[in-house]
């Protein structure tokens, strides 16, 4: 799948002749603001399911922006399909891998290793793992792979979820915005004709301190602001349980109910065993012990095989990324490397490998494996629908012209190229919710202004745009709902943690980029 081609379709462009704001531009800006407010009000005050609220918001934005009535639903469906056709598959495959990782005892092996040493180092270890995984992986893939490890570590350490969750999210998000081979930075590099290697090197220089500040350091503050334990769809996927009965509805997927208290099992999807009436979390592990391993497993995978299985998609995608950079397109091996390095194929291979290393090798029969694969999908159905609806809302904003209107406002400010790139990306990110759309659109707008810059400053403009594209994720971003549902947060708690973390990353990225521009 050509991700950039898909994302480029429908992305607004601004020509030199169309920089002045028109009446339609003002209209779509007002409609976008009202549409976002409607989504928040429906979810927070009317307690409406996020999928329905986002759908209503998308239809309102489409109609209010002047999209033809017979095209409004088509715009929404395009956005939903574009997200679920790709991210939905990744979420499903990631949930399968996470379920097998947890039930086989592989997650226990990883967590046991993480928990060794001083507890104060645990957030830093989590950030490092996320940073490494985030280099070749899209944010969504890294999140679904890390969620079982994060949730089980939180569950076992009996600490607040945000203390470990924020460092993991920061590591993944920073790499997604700053470092190729992620689609946003690669697209900006192509549009601005920047040097890939130089951008990668400078991106890593900026990424390391940014992850440290927005991850472990901010995580301590976030844990105090939102002191909840493991919960949400992420815990349900791992199957960890404290022995408490948790029924669907109390803080469950897609609701804004109160999250689980610190140390509780949270919003895991409940499964009732037919004859006994015993209720337990989906795929529940041992009760009260904090271990996720299923009692049916006769042995545990080794730590080495656990790492090999988890890192296999990373290695495959890293090979593809290296081929994209250093191998000519006509090379004989290029098509094969592109195929196995595609995120969907790489994760599928990892799941098939896990069915051996986390399945038959630990004593699961074929029928048990089939049941576990099916059970892994139950907790993430609501997540997928909400993420898809977020994509539909974003598409309505893009098709209605909000991005183009935002770009005109930014160009009228007459700022430096580097700062202007950041501001344009911020405004489009806030209006459309997509980091990649913000990056590609901002790069296209800034390209004429960046034509005479040196290679170093071109790379810094790419990084400034990438930083701006991460600013304050909120209700029109599919990633916002992914984090909310996986961690079992309310909308307000997600804003206090995830949205604020994204803003810290964006501002810190801009500051470091400006500092580098002064010395390079």
Copy the structure tokens of residue 271: 């499964």
Q: What is the pLDDT of residue 497?
A: 96
pLDDT at 448 over 90: no
Taking the C-alpha atoms of residue 509 and residue 470, their distance in angstroms, rounded to an integer, is: 10
pLDDT at 156 over 90: no
pLDDT at 272 over 70: no
pLDDT at 2 over 50: no
User: What's the sign of the alpha-carbon dihedral 181, 393, 502, 170?
Assistant: negative
Q: What is the pLDDT of residue 253?
A: 32
Most confident of 131-135, 236-240, 357-361, 395-399: 357-361
pLDDT at 175 over 60: yes
User: What's the sign of the alpha-carbon dihedral 213, 214, 218, 223?
Assistant: negative
Q: What is the pLDDT of residue 199?
A: 86
Taking the C-alpha atoms of residue 413 and residue 18, their distance in angstroms, rounded to an integer, is: 15
Give me the residues paired with residue 281 across strands: 270
* Distance in angstroms between the alpha carbons of the first and the last residue of the chain: 38
| pLDDT tens per residue, range 88-104 | 887 788 788 878 887 88
Taking the C-alpha atoms of residue 130 and residue 291, their distance in angstroms, rounded to an integer, is: 22
Cα-based distances in Å from 144 to 157, 238, 494: 20, 11, 17
DSSP at 10: T
Q: What is the 3-state secondary structure (H, E, C) of 397-465?
A: HHHHCHHHHHHHHHHCCCCCHHHHHHHHHHHHHHHHCCHHHHHHHHHHHHHHHHCCCCHHHHHHHHHHH
pLDDT at 194 over 70: yes
User: Considering the entire predicted model, what is its pTM?
Assistant: 0.66
H/E stretch holding 107: helix 106-115
**Which has more pLDDT, 1 or 411?**
411
DSSP assignment string, 475-494:
TT-HHHHHHHHHHT--HHHH
H/E stretch holding 272: strand 270-272
- The band of 66, judged by pLDDT with boundaries at 50, 70 and 90, is very high
Distance of CA 290 to the CA centre of its chain: 27
pLDDT at 14 over 60: no
Q: What is the pLDDT of residue 270?
A: 31
Taking the C-alpha atoms of residue 245 and residue 268, their distance in angstroms, rounded to an integer, is: 9
**Which has more pLDDT, 406 or 77?**
77
| pLDDT tens per residue, range 18-58 | 557 788 888 988 998 898 888 878 877 888 888 898 899 99
Which residue in the block uniquely carries the two structure tokens 């909120």?
474
- The set of residues, in sequence order, having a beta carbon less than 8 Å from that of 140 and lying 6+ positions away, is 87, 90, 91, 94, 479, 482
DSSP at 137: S
Q: What is the pLDDT of residue 422?
A: 95
Q: Is 280 helix (H, G, I), strand (E, B) or coil?
A: strand
Copy the structure tokens of residue 62: 């489409």
């Amino acid at each position: 799948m050509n991700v950039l081609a898909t994302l480029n379709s429908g992305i607004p462009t601004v020509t030199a002749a169309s920089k002045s704001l028109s009446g339609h531009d003002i209209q779509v800006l007002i409609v976008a603001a009202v549409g976002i407010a409607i989504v928040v009000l429906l979810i927070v005050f009317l307690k409406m399911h996020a999928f329905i609220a986002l759908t209503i918001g998308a239809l309102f934005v489409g109609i209010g922006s002047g999209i033809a009535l017979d095209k409004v639903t088509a715009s929404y469906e395009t956005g939903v399909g574009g997200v679920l056709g790709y991210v939905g598959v990744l979420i499903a495959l990631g949930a399968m891998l996470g379920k097998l990782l947890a039930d086989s005892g592989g997650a226990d092996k990883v967590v046991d290793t993480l928990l060794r040493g001083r507890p104060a180092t645990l957030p830093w270890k989590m950030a490092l793992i996320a940073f490494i995984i985030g280099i070749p992986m899209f944010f969504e893939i890294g999140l679904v792979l890390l969620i079982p490890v994060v949730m089980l570590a939180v569950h076992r350490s009996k600490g607040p979820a945000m203390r470990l969750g924020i460092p993991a999210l920061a590591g993944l998000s920073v790499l997604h915005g700053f470092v190729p081979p992620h689609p946003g930075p690669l697209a900006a590099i192509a549009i601005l004709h920047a040097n890939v290697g130089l951008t990668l090197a400078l991106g890593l220089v900026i990424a390391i301190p940014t992850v440290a500040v927005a991850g472990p350091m901010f995580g301590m503050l976030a844990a105090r602001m939102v002191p909840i334990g493991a919960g949400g769809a992420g815990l349900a996927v791992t199957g960890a349980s404290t022995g408490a009965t948790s029924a669907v509805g109390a803080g469950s997927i897609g609701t804004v109910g109160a999250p689980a208290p610190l140390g509780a099992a949270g919003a895991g999807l409940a499964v009732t065993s037919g004859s006994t009436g015993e209720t337990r979390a989906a795929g529940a592990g041992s009760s009260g012990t904090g271990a996720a391993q299923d009692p049916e497993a006769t042995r545990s995978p080794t730590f080495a095989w656990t790492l090999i299985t988890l890192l296999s998609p990373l290695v495959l995608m890293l090979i593809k990324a290296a081929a994209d950079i250093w191998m000519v397109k006509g090379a004989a091996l290029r098509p094969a490397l592109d195929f196995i390095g595609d995120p969907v194929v790489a994760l599928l291979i990892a799941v098939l490998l896990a069915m051996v290393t986390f399945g038959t090798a630990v004593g699961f029969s074929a029928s048990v494996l089939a049941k576990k694969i099916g059970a892994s999908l139950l907790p993430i159905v609501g997540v997928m629908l909400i993420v898809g609806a977020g994509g539909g809302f974003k598409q309505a904003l893009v098709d209605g012209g909000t991005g183009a209107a935002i770009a005109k406002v930014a160009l009228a400010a007459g700022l430096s190229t580097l700062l202007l790139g950041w501001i344009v990306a911020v405004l489009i990110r806030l209006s459309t919710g997509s980091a990649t759309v913000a990056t590609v659109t901002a790069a296209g707008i800034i390209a004429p202004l960046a034509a005479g810059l040196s290679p170093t400053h071109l790379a810094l403009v790419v990084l400034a745009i990438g930083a701006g594209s991460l600013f304050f994720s909120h209700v029109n971003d599919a990633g916002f709902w992914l984090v909310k549902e996986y961690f079992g947060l309310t909308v307000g708690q997600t804003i206090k943690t995830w949205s604020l973390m994204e803003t810290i990353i964006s501002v810190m990225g801009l500051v470091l980029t400006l500092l580098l521009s002064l010395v390079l």
